């Protein structure tokens, strides 16, 4: 079965093509006039590209850790300052500071490793119907819900990721006032075909990895991110890349909310290929502040 044409999204390929301004200094743009702030995954992906540009290509990304400091303005470019922290025999470490108007908006530490053979094991497995056998999100929900889902066109206009859910997206049950376990999963891929370069593909998943993750902490509370008075924002974000893979091909992204408290939430994710191989893991803590009591 052929995939249907993909919906319009921001131009991710251009977003990940940074301009080299000076040695270890890069400039990134959003190419999006409708967003109110820079999508967190964009900052992660662009910072990773900046770091990777200073690393020998035979060393591949294996982990990254980011901290969101201030919301970014999508109407202004972002400067990415790379510090060459370490160049070891097997590992290379870089830190990146992203700024706008002299203010730091994001910090990243990334580690790269030369390819090596080693012990092989994974603790978890997952299976789901293939994405080609699943309906698009629009065809999987009640038309009445779809008509009122203002979040959906906003997401598509501002985030360049395709997705399909093997089960009902918990957000829909929460909108009905029903609680659900803190688990959700979706087939995901970047919304456009990217360059085959491993750094670009790694940055493509870094971009996609922020999507939905923190919201997996909300289903037990029967709350959606549209809840009046709810402040939801990523605070820090971690990605571990276990295998090389193409972010522009379908992978199953399982997400689990681990904890909520103190106006924060903690979630983790696992990314599997079609054969159930774990290719990446993620973790994120974010702000979950409910500003007023619910009616």
pLDDT tens-digit profile of 23-56? 999 999 999 888 899 999 999 999 999 999 999 9
Reported as a single tens digit per residue, the pLDDT across 106-124 is: 999 999 999 999 999 999 8
From 210, 215, 248, 281, the catalytic residue: 210
Reported as a single tens digit per residue, the pLDDT across 176-210 is: 999 999 999 999 999 999 999 999 999 999 999 99
pLDDT > 70: percent of the chain: 96
Give the mean pLDDT of 216-237: 95
Known catalytic residue at 76: no
| pLDDT surpassing 50 at residue 1 | no
From 42, 201, 209, 234, the catalytic residue: 234
Which residues are 86's β-sheet partners? 93
Domain locations in the chain? 12-114+136-290
Looking at every residue in the chain, the average pLDDT score rounds to 94
Known catalytic residue at 284: yes
Least confident of 108-112, 139-143, 211-215, 244-248: 139-143
Q: What is the pLDDT of residue 46?
A: 98
Judging by beta carbons within 10 Å of its beta carbon (0-12, 13-18, 19+), is residue 33 exposed, middle or buried?
A: exposed
Confidence of residue 6 (pLDDT cuts 50, 70, 90): low
| pLDDT surpassing 70 at residue 293 | no
How many H-runs (helices) and E-runs (strands) does the chain carry? Answer: 7, 12
Known catalytic residue at 46: no
What's the CATH number of domain 12-114+136-290, 3.40.50.150, 2.40.160.210, 3.40.50.20, 1.10.287.3510? Answer: 2.40.160.210
Give the mean pLDDT of 147-166: 94
The pair phi, psi for residue 273, each rounded to 5°, is -85, -175
Confidence of residue 125 (pLDDT cuts 50, 70, 90): confident
Sheet with 103-114, edge to edge strand ranges:
19-22, 25-28, 78-87, 91-100, 103-114, 59-68, 230-241, 278-290, 264-272, 251-261, 183-190, 161-164
| pLDDT surpassing 80 at residue 224 | yes
Helix 40-52 crosses helix 198-208 at what angle (to 10 degrees)?
A: 160
Give the mean pLDDT of 134-141: 94
């Amino acid at each position: 079965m052929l995939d249907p044409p993909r919906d319009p999204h921001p131009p991710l390929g251009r977003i990940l093509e940074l301009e080299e301004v000076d040695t270890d200094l890069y400039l990134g743009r959003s190419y999006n006039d409708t967003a109110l702030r820079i999508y967190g995954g964009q900052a992660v992906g662009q910072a990773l590209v900046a770091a990777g540009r200073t690393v020998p290509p035979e060393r591949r990304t294996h982990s990254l850790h980011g901290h969101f400091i201030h919301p970014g303005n999508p109407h202004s470019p972002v400067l990415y300052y790379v510090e060459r922290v370490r160049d070891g025999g097997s590992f290379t470490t870089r830190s990146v500071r992203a700024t706008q108007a002299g203010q730091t908006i994001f910090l990243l530490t990334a580690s790269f490793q030369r390819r090596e053979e080693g012990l092989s094991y994974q603790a978890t497995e997952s299976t789901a119907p293939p994405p080609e056998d699943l309906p698009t999100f629009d065809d999987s929900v009640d038309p009445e819900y779809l008509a009122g889902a203002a979040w959906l066109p906003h997401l598509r206009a501002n985030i360049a990721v395709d997705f399909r859910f093997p089960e009902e997206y918990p957000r829909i049950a929460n909108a009905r006032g029903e609680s659900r376990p803190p688990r959700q999963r979706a087939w995901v891929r970047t919304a456009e075909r990217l360059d085959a370069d491993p750094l670009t593909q790694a940055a493509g998943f870094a971009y996609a990895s922020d999507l939905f993750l923190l919201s997996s902490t909300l289903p037990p509370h029967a709350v959606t991110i549209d809840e009046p008075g709810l402040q939801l924002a990523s605070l820090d974000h971690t990605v571990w890349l276990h295998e090389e893979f193409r972010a522009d091909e379908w992978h199953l992204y399982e997400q689990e909310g681990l904890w909520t408290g103190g106006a924060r939430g903690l979630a983790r994710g696992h990314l599997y290929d079609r054969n159930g191989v774990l290719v990446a893991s993620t973790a994120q803590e974010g702000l979950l502040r409910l500003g007023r009591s619910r009616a």
